[in-house]
Structure 1
Amino acid sequence: MSLNWMVRMTSDLESNIVAVERVKEYSETATEAPWIVKDKQPPPDWPPKGNVEFIDYSVRYREGLDLVLRNISLEVKGGEKIGIVGRTGAGKSSMTLCLFRLLEAADGEIVIDEVKISEIGLHDLRSKLTIIPQEPVLFSGTLRMNLDPFEKYSDEEVWKVLELSHLKKFVSNQPSKLELECSEGGENLSVGQRQVSQYQPSSGPDVFNPLSRTTE
């Protein structure tokens, strides 16, 4: 009995010490860039056009590793639809991570509507971009909450988004309309409907964020 108790206590200690290891790991992890840089905040209506430019851009996943993107230069005009093609590991997803500054540049710049994204705060950058993942996931709650989680837009703007994404008829036929309850992971919606439900309205001249058309 004593041997069984000792083995059990040792196993519990080994499991619980993971929390200490995790705290140590987080305490040594470098923090992200500032959330807001007051003297570098872009205009409220930025980006008005959605022009994206990579200028001799290089990036690596962490210090000491090889570059995953090397000296990339390209320019995408606002409203253009482009496709990035390449084999597995070519760096397609890495370009998306760079736009959100989940990866910081090793060299070069990304400029969106004449604003260098490396100079502005992460909140000012990420709140203006939208990504549609290949496997969409919705939060448990109403459809309106998923479309406008921060309640920044009016019902008219939300309905306009649904109309342009061909989901207005479906939502209009629901008894609760915008208050349609989404189950966990959006299981009561089709995959296409879940993707549309991740669009964010925009206060600019276009209903969608100018960059929200970019998918992997």
Structure 2
Amino acid sequence: LNPGLVGLSVSYALQVTMALNWMVRMMSDLESNIVAVERVKEYSKTETEAPWVVEGSRPPEGWPPHGEVEFRDYSVRYRPGLDLVLKKLSVHVRGGEKVGIVGRTGAGKSSMTLCLFRILEAAEGEIRIDGLNVADIGLHDLRSQLTIIPQDPILFSGTLRMNLDPFSNYSEEDIWQALELAHLHMFVRAQPAGLDFLCSEGGENLSVGQRQLVCLAR
């Protein structure tokens, strides 16, 4: 064989191998990146939530004054086509009343909380807080007046003051009053920085109970 032809054949063979490696790598990248396209397509078809504020149907200032919650023949499902997770539920909780809801896994305990915040919209019935139908008001007006303390409370990296009043809506006296009502004021006063005590990401430098009390005060 001609040595030049052999060298040319080997050179082209190496180039083909490199091209095949590049093609396999590009196919792998395409398969990984197409997931992002699928997510964008999914989000583009996701229904938007209800209006943030409904002008002309805003709750009165100071609402809710009593905290009376009533479910009236309330039914809800997680999405169209699925079975109801709550069916014709009627519950009346008076203001200031402490109520425990118990049940097996999947009975709908957490779903009731999601319904209060209108994360799940009603299939039938209504929820009234101090006589006001929550479906008639905007999501901001509703959710800004409710609070929830999860089993794993979430705190942000920053000062305790920022975690208690992230939008700077309240005076320092109001913050201390909230801490006293949550029985957390002794801990805060014992810190050299006071309200400027730095919370680590997720509140890891606080116990779970203290994190829950911070959420309660907030």
**Secondary structure of 2:40 counterpart:** helix
Q: TM-score, normalised by structure 2?
A: 0.90
Give me the whole-angstrom Cα distance separating, in 2, the residues matched to 1:196 and 1:147: 10
Q: Report the structure number with the largest CA radius of gyration.
A: 2
Listed as ranges, the gaps of 5+ residues in structure 1 are 202-216
Identity between Structure 1 and Structure 2 (%) = 72
Describe how 1:17-32 pairs up with structure 2 within 5 A. 17-32=34-49
**Secondary structure of 2:33 counterpart:** helix
Pair 1:186 & 2:208 matched: no
Describe how 1:46-85 pairs up with structure 2 within 5 A. 46-85=63-102
Aligned residues of 1:41 and 1:120 also touching (Cα < 8 A): yes
Aligned partner of 1:149 in structure 2 is 166
Aligned partner of 2:136 in structure 1 is 119
1:35 corresponds, among 41, 52, 56, to: 52
Describe how 1:81-120 pairs up with structure 2 within 5 A. 81-120=98-137
Pair 1:4 & 2:29 matched: no
**How many residues were matched structurally?**
201
Letter in 2 for 1:19: A
Residues 115-169 of structure 1: CA deviation (Å, up to 9, x unaligned): 1000100000000000000111211111111111111111111111111212111
Deviates further, 151-160 or 62-71: 151-160
Residues 79-134 of structure 1: CA deviation (Å, up to 9, x unaligned): 00000010000000000000000000000000001110001000000000000001
**Secondary structure of 1:38 counterpart:** coil
Q: Which runs of 4+ in 1 moved over 4 A?
A: none
Aligned partner of 2:187 in structure 1 is 170
Residues 146-203 of structure 1: CA deviation (Å, up to 9, x unaligned): 11111111111111111121211111111111111100110000001111111355xx
Aligned residues of 1:147 and 1:199 also touching (Cα < 8 A): no
2:213 corresponds, among 182, 196, 206, to: 196
Aligned residues of 2:76 and 2:122 also touching (Cα < 8 A): yes
The structure with the largest helix share of the pair is 2
Letter in 1 for 2:154: V
- Alpha carbon RMSD of aligned pairs, Å? 1.0
Give me the whole-angstrom Cα distance separating, in 1, the residues matched to 2:217 and 2:63: 15
Letter in 1 for 2:197: L
Deviation at 1:58, TM superposition (A): 0.3
Listed as ranges, the gaps of 5+ residues in structure 2 are 1-17
Deviation at 1:2, TM superposition (A): 2.4
| Larger RCO of the pair (alpha carbons < 8 Å, separation 6+) | 1
Aligned partner of 2:15 in structure 1 is none
**Secondary structure of 2:74 counterpart:** strand
